[in-house]
Each structure stands twice: as structure tokens, then as C-alpha cells.
A and B are shown apart, each in its own frame.
Chain A
């Protein structure tokens, strides 16, 4: 079964960490990326780069900024292949952002 792990964190939390801690965070991310169960991943540019697109009456409307204006923003995602939810929850708890007030939303991906 495939799962999406969507990482919500306060923008720039990693930059405020002391050097040693920041390096640890990067190493932990690298480890997650190297996990053979990780089938895809993406780190997103900051929320200031977001553009929202809607179509109304045949016209394309664009607004600057992310869809939801919250303190934690979607910063990246993993796609994980796993046998069951417990396996994914264990990986999710290892995402560094969760230690710094961030949240990982876990959702199964529709099978195709």
C-alpha cells in the first residue's frame, strides 16, 4: 500500500536551529530519503512562492500565497510504500519537523 506523508512545519524552523542540530536534521532527512520504502519525495520552496489558481466563468484567477493561511505550511512530502499504517506511523514520527512543533499528515494513496 502506498501512503503520502505531508509535512507541515513553521517556515524556516530549521534555519533557527544551532549548527549541530541543523546538521542532525539534514542527516535524518537524508536517511528517510534513502529508505528503500520511500518511492518519491519533494521539498517545496517557501510558502511565499505559492500561487493559487482558480477558474471561474472561463477566466483563470490567480492569487499570491498558499491556499490555507496557517502558521504551519506544507513544506514537503514523501510517498512511502508500506505494508500497513503502523509501519508508516513509525516513519512519520522520525520526520524531524515533528520534534519542532510540526505535523505530518499521513494518508493512503488511492491505488491505480
Chain B
């Protein structure tokens, strides 16, 4: 609803006001008159008409009434027969691209996407990102002001800009998902919902399918990932806590991404997640997928994951050689992975040193507890 209003009015604040007004009218009228045949369309039409009334009032004051369309052009909101869904354009895709415009600060893109597309209240978003409602309100206002002042278009970008801009949208959705990954589950579900909206609007975009598949498969394992506050590694997770139907649904989305020719970073990550939910896990394949991902991203952290997969595939010595080539000294998981590999190779003293270094870098209590446990086991 908001998407169609922003598209129509070209202004976030006016659209939000109009939507609120329409809901208020509905709350007053519907209990007495019953639901209109198409409540959604009724709300949009009512909100549009109210907004036009308001703009017209404002412009009348400014003596510029002639600039507006004649009143006859506007549908009568109470003539239900005149309202049908097909008359209301779905402009959610335009809204997504506006909210995720790279000219906006990233935190503003995230907040605006959740507010405008997720329909979350400002207070809810503030809670999810652990900031005050005041701060979140300012963040949203700043983003909306920049959209207006700089003329960020309410449009799907042209073909030459589209690939970069789709990447930007996917990055925002994945960021929202990752905020939820650390335990705030409602953001994870919200990110998946947003991803599915994007997939429905861009059905031929393989990376969008890939991202949705990745998030669904990860999300399906959320209940097994923690034991109390402690992080549980994949190997030790209680598989009966996995949401198997959601994993199957995620795999189906992944198949679609691959069928569309998807070979991008999200598709590969989804494929890794998918292989890791099989029993037994095909570790050589996981290592191979990480190799492709490393080729694509050039990321040392991905190489570290590849090494861990090599070790799981039964070659800890090759894994250690890979790890020792990486320049990740400030990274906790570099040292904990090295520690684990050295332990498997029976080099306990070196393993202890590596785990000790990881412990120095740990910032959360669960991380510290996990590493201390590992050290004690040596």
C-alpha cells in the first residue's frame, strides 16, 4: 500500500500520513458498513484521495489550484464498483530501489527498507538495532530528507545501472538477516519475507533466489545454533531441531537459482548451506564450493572456511598449509581454526598457543566459554 502511495505522491511523509488517515477512516466506517469487496484497494484509493484533497487545500492557500488535475479525474472512494486491484499498480519494486539507493547511508537504507517495505514501526526497528527510538527517527528523517532534496528517483534503475543496484538491494536484505542471525529471530524472518517479495518482483534474478535460499536454509537451523547462550557448531547441532520443511523449501529456491544460471556469491553460499544440511556431509564438495567462492570474492575468510572444509574432508595437513598462507592475525576464527587443525595433527603445544591467541581476541562471553572449553580439552 505504501509503495503505491509513495509512487503516486512522490513523497514518503505524505504517503505515510495518507495511509494513516485511510486506516482511521476504515476503522470508523467498516464496523458499520461491513468490509468493502476489496479492502486493500479501498484503502489505497481512499488514501490517495485524502492526499490529493490535502495537497489541493495547501495549493489553494498558495493560489495555485490550477496546477492540479480537475476533481472529476479522481475516483470516488466510496464507489466500490470503481475499485479493483488491477487498477492499482504494484510499485513495491520501485520502493525497494529507492530505499536501497547507494546515495543513502547504509544504516538509513536498512531502516527505511524495514519501515517502508517491512511495515515495521520506528520503535520496533530501534529495538532491533539497539538504538533509541529518537536516534532511529532521526536516521529515517535524514534518509527521507536526502531522497527528497537530491531527487533520488522512485524508479527501477535502467539496464546499465541495474546489476549494481540489485547488488545493493541484496546487500541490505542480507544485512537485515545477519542482524537477526545473532539471536534476534524476528529480523531474520523479516529479511526472508523481504527477499521473497524481491524474488516475486524479479523472478529472473538468480542472485535474489540465491539469497532467499541461503537465508531460508540458515534460518531453518536457528533453534539448533544455540544451547542456552552457547554457540553450537554445525557438527554438534541436534538435527531434530532443524526445520526440515523450510530446508526443503530453501533447496527448491536454490534449484530455481541454479536453473536460472546463477553462479554468484549468494547462490554458492546457499549451495554450501544446502550441502551442509545433508547427511552425511560431502566435505570435498563443500571445499570445492568454497574454492569457487574464494575465486569470486578474493576473501581470506572464505579461504579459511575452505581450509576448515578440507580438514573435515580428512586432510588437516593440507588445511593447515592453506591456513598458514592467510594474513588474518587479528581474526579470532583464524586462530581457533589453526588451534583445531594443530590439535588434530597432534601438535598440542602449538594448538594451545593458537587457542590462547583466539581467547585474547574473543569479545563475547559465549566465545570465551567455548574457547576455554577447547583449551581445557587439550
A51 CB, min distance to chain B CBs, angstroms: 32
**Closest A residue to B158 using CB positions:** A86
Q: A89: which B residues are within 8 A, CB to CB?
A: 103
Q: Is B149 an interface residue, CB under 8 A from the partner?
A: yes
Q: Which of B67-123 contact A (CB under 8 A)?
A: 101, 103
Q: Is B151 an interface residue, CB under 8 A from the partner?
A: yes
Interface string of A70-112 (1 = CB under 8 A from B): 0000000000001111100110000000000000001110000
Q: Is the CB of A86 within 8 A of B153?
A: yes
**Closest B residue to A82 using CB positions:** B151
Do most interface residues of chain B lie in helix, strand or loop, or is the interface mixed?
loop
Q: How far is the CA of A1 from the CA of B160 in the complex (A)?
A: 22
Q: B161: which A residues are within 8 A, CB to CB?
A: 86, 90
Q: Is the CB of A86 within 8 A of B150?
A: no
Q: Is the CB of B157 within 8 A of A86?
A: yes
Q: Is the CB of A84 within 8 A of B152?
A: yes
**In the complex, which of the residues B150, B158, B160 contacts A85, with contact meaning CB atoms closer than 8 Å?**
B150
**Closest A residue to B102 using CB positions:** A89
A5 CB, min distance to chain B CBs, angstroms: 13
Interface string of A52-79 (1 = CB under 8 A from B): 0000000000000000000000000000
Q: Is B155 an interface residue, CB under 8 A from the partner?
A: yes
- Count of chain A residues near B, Cβ 8 A: 12
Q: How far is the CA of A108 from the CA of B151 in the complex (A)?
A: 8
Q: B160: which A residues are within 8 A, CB to CB?
A: 90
Q: How far is the CA of A84 from the CA of B103 in the complex (A)?
A: 12
Q: How far is the CA of A1 from the CA of B161 in the complex (A)?
A: 21
Q: How far is the CA of A108 from the CA of B150 in the complex (A)?
A: 6
A35 CB, min distance to chain B CBs, angstroms: 16
Q: How far is the CA of A16 from the CA of B153 in the complex (A)?
A: 38
Interface string of B148-190 (1 = CB under 8 A from A): 0111110101101100000000000000000000000000000
B308 CB, min distance to chain A CBs, angstroms: 38
Q: A3: which B residues are within 8 A, CB to CB?
A: 151
Q: A107: which B residues are within 8 A, CB to CB?
A: 150
**Taking each of B101, B150, B153, B157, which has the highest tally of chain A beta carbons within 10 Å of its own beta carbon?**
B150
**Closest A residue to B101 using CB positions:** A85
Interface string of A1-21 (1 = CB under 8 A from B): 101000000000000000000
Q: A90: which B residues are within 8 A, CB to CB?
A: 160-161
B211 CB, min distance to chain A CBs, angstroms: 23
Q: B155: which A residues are within 8 A, CB to CB?
A: 84, 86
Q: Is the CB of B152 within 8 A of A108?
A: no
Q: How far is the CA of A86 from the CA of B153 in the complex (A)?
A: 7
**Closest A residue to B154 using CB positions:** A84
**Closest A residue to B152 using CB positions:** A85
Q: Is the CB of A1 within 8 A of B103?
A: no
Q: B151: which A residues are within 8 A, CB to CB?
A: 1, 3, 82-85, 108
Q: Is the CB of A108 within 8 A of B153?
A: no
B350 CB, min distance to chain A CBs, angstroms: 43
Q: B101: which A residues are within 8 A, CB to CB?
A: 85
Q: A86: which B residues are within 8 A, CB to CB?
A: 152-153, 155, 157-158, 161
B160 CB, min distance to chain A CBs, angstroms: 8
Q: Is the CB of B149 within 8 A of A84?
A: no
Q: How far is the CA of A107 from the CA of B153 in the complex (A)?
A: 15
Q: B153: which A residues are within 8 A, CB to CB?
A: 83-86
Q: A82: which B residues are within 8 A, CB to CB?
A: 151
Q: B157: which A residues are within 8 A, CB to CB?
A: 86
B149 CB, min distance to chain A CBs, angstroms: 6
B163 CB, min distance to chain A CBs, angstroms: 14
B93 CB, min distance to chain A CBs, angstroms: 15
Q: How far is the CA of A106 from the CA of B160 in the complex (A)?
A: 20
15 A-B pairs (CB sep. < 8 Å): A1-B151, A83-B151, A84-B151, A84-B153, A84-B155, A85-B151, A86-B152, A86-B157, A86-B158, A86-B161, A89-B103, A90-B160, A90-B161, A107-B150, A108-B150
Told that A3-B151, A108-B151 touch, could you supply 14 new A-B pairs with CB distance under 8 A? A1-B151, A82-B151, A83-B151, A83-B153, A84-B151, A84-B153, A85-B103, A85-B151, A85-B152, A86-B153, A86-B155, A86-B157, A89-B103, A90-B160
Q: List chain B positions with a Cβ less than 8 A from chain A.
A: 101, 103, 149-153, 155, 157-158, 160-161
Q: What 7 A-B pairs have minimum CB-CB distances, sorted nearest first?
A: A84-B153, A84-B151, A1-B151, A85-B151, A85-B152, A85-B150, A108-B150
